[in-house]
Amino acid sequence: MEKTTNDKTLFAMDLTAMMAVEQLSAETNQPQEKVLLDFMESNTAKMLYDDSTKLWWDGPSATAEEYKKSN
Q: How many domains does the chain have?
A: 1
Domain presence at residue 2:
no
pLDDT band at 4 (very low <50, low <70, confident <90, very high): low
pLDDT band at 5 (very low <50, low <70, confident <90, very high): confident
Domain presence at residue 27:
yes
Q: How far apart are CA 47 and CA 7, in angstroms?
A: 18
Domain presence at residue 41:
yes
Domain presence at residue 1:
no
pTM for the model: 0.90
Residue 1: predicted pLDDT = 42
Domain, as residue range, for 29:
7-70
Min mean pLDDT across 4-18, 22-36, 49-63 is at 4-18
Give the three-state DSSP class for 25: helix
49 pLDDT higher than 70: yes
